[in-house]
Amino acid sequence: QDWKDFWLHEGPATYLEALYTEHLEGDSAYHARTHYYREEMSGGTPIARRVPTTAEDIYHSDVYYRGALTLHTLRYVVGEKDLRAILRRFAYPEGAVPGPEAPFRHVTTDDFVEVAEEVSGRSLDAFFQVYLYRGALPVLATERMKGTLRLEWTKTGDVTFEVPVPVRVDGETRRVTMSDGTGSVAVPEGAEVAVDPKGWILRRQ
């Protein structure tokens, strides 16, 4: 058996636990759950492969937790509505009837990426390349000087990583665009600044 796409079994299932927690208990409980996932993952092992893979090679906790957090970050990138549509369409393609009688399908990571791109209307190849196929997580470098906070994605290899970053300045959260992996936001002198205060973005801390 080939286990190279095993994260598709466990990552979404683990993430749905967080979504159900949010449904029952609200936003704070959802973020507490994703914070727990972050504490439990090692963050140094790819969770998908492009070559035939055994269970011994791929079966580790990051398949669950990094897989779930990849979807958590995807939610920030594409929005909650599109993320839910992606998960639903992937589970039940157009024409399929939801429920236990739905036919068995063999699916791959490429199938999931295709659905995500179709639903969101975005190119997500770099996103999944970094989060699924690379071992090391991306690093967000920050520098504050002369009224500006500069941000740069590093440790992404030859991939141009453009995941936006939420930055809170004096209580107001802004979504910073990271064109070509860099971005900036104005921060007045003395302003209180927090980068990704809710922990939406999976990265090396």
Q: pLDDT value at position 105?
A: 74
Which are the contacts of 192, defined by CB distance < 8 A and separation ≥ 6? 168, 169, 170, 171
Rounded Cα–Cα distance for residues 9 and 5 (Å): 8
Q: pLDDT value at position 96?
A: 66
Rounded Cα–Cα distance for residues 153 and 180 (Å): 9
Listed by start position, the domains of the chain span: 7-133, 139-195
Rounded Cα–Cα distance for residues 178 and 113 (Å): 21
Q: pLDDT value at position 103?
A: 65
Q: pLDDT value at position 203?
A: 97
143 CA to centre of own chain: 24
Pick the CATH number of 7-133 from 1.25.40.10, 1.10.390.10, 1.10.10.10, 3.40.50.740: 1.10.390.10
Which parts of the chain have pLDDT scores under 50?
A: none
Q: How far is CA 48 from CA 66, 69, 127, 133, 194, in A?
A: 11, 14, 13, 5, 32
Read off the tokens for 153: 């994605």
* Number of alpha carbons in the 13 Å side-chain half-sphere of residue 188: 6
Q: Tens digit of pLDDT for each residue in 105-159?
A: 788 999 999 999 999 999 999 999 999 999 999 999 999 999 999 999 999 989 9
pTM passes above 0.85: yes
